[in-house]
A and B are shown apart, each in its own frame.
Chain A
Amino acid sequence: MTALPATTEKKLGLVIDLDTCVGCQACATSCKEWNAGGYSAPLTDQQPYGADPHGAWLNRVHSYDVGEGAASRTVHFPRSCLHCEEPACVTVCPTGASYKRAEDGIVLVDPDTCIGCKLCSWACPYGAREYDYGHGVMKKCTLCVDRIYNAHLPAEDRIPACARACPTGARHFGDLGDPESVVSQLVAERGGFDLLPEFGYKSVNKYLPPRPRCDALAADAPSASPPRQARDDAGSGAASSSTERLFAWVDRVLSR
């Protein structure tokens, strides 16, 4: 019901590293803080100090166990709008409030024309759309459109608040439509992947997979490293050097 641009000049988005995300929630809270006063303002909270506190968030971080037993690992999964190339949340919108920008591909909601019907939140398979109960309209990640072009901010702050806040460097911002960009190169190096590609919405954000583990539990890791050769002062690597014998003696004495 709302049209998509035929092409976009850029494909701005995020690359999120599931290997280095530690689930600290800094991205979620910095997003909430920025947008409490920014483009999506206000992001309301219901019963903030009550029995069932719930509010509108544009970015949430979930934590999952992957695998079983000692070989399992915890994966922290930040989830926000993926600014898809062909998003169903736009085409389903009855009023035109939900739209995709031709200049950079950012998907936004115009709060003035949104009627809060929630069709977009049903259409989005990623749960990226939240209804703001205090405002009556739909909210979603804006890719910090009000930061990235804001000449009044220092240059290093002209990226999304979440990327700025991440303490482990797990969030990267850039043009996924430019194969030479840092983010595109990261995706190529690390095998960045789409979420739920079978829906065909062509998500722009990419996730970098957790790296394979390299400790003793890894499938082809050696079970024990070879014993380290002690070296004498000349560094010749000869076994049973005088230094080695000295340390062996000290070890015996101290163990008495």
Chain B
Amino acid sequence: MNRRKLVGQFCESLCRGAAFLVLTVLFFILGFILMKGIGVINWTFLSAPPTDGMTKGGIFPAIFGTIALTFFMIVMALPLGVASAIYLNEYAGTGRAYRVIRAGINNLAGVPSIVFGLFGVGFFILFVGRQLDRVLQTGLLFGQPAMLWAGATLAVLVLPVIIVSTDEALKAVPQSMREAAYALGATRWQMIRRVVLPQSLPGILTGSILSISRGAGETAPVLFTGAAYFLPKLPVVKLWGTIPMVNPMEQFMQLAYHIFILSTQSTNVQLTRPLQYGTALVLLVLTFMLNLGGILLRARFRKQRRRG
């Protein structure tokens, strides 16, 4: 009897140890980046472009590029993804074809991100872009890496994620609610808008936030679709000479790509180490705020659902 208990306690403490190890790794990563990076962070670092061959100055263009890129991605992916999920869940039947499509979408969420990069280069830039150039006689305007194509590539990457999470949120609305709405004479759209959407909104929001954070931290898909090592000026164009807006046809600097390029391909890797830690800290803070928000929202949503 005693031995059985002892073995049990030993194994249980191994499990506790594993959890403790994982938490330690998390805190080590956070602490290490924070400690090494905080020294670099000041107003100049956040607001100035890189100078002296990337060894001094700040990362403002990279922050700007990341936010602009994420914005493009959201505009392209979020409405499409949510509308698709609503269609698949509320309008399309539950037949065989529908199940195959769902399985395909589910699976696509696990496809390596570099494959999307490959698709972005081959399809968006070399196929769509070059064809556009040929039809519109624009020389080489569309057929080259640009913010638009990088955003589109990321949009295709997060689209399955958004569809799956929205679908999950819609599925969580009890069928009886829908039936009650129909019984009161609501049309299908009235039912969706007044019953299903309000209830599934937290879930949809959570999925969206998590996918935004994923897109903001992704590097592989933008490697060849638009990220640039260094740009002397922001990818901004004056619309009709007055209104400034992000130029979707220009390349951009991006935080994740900046870390990658500084730590592997710059001329003096050791010299730029502090900048690398600083950039990593900024990227971590950005994605963590999004992630934490998403995870907390999801935890709250789940608890509510269990109670209801």
Mutual binders A and B: no
Residues of B within 8 A of A (CB): none
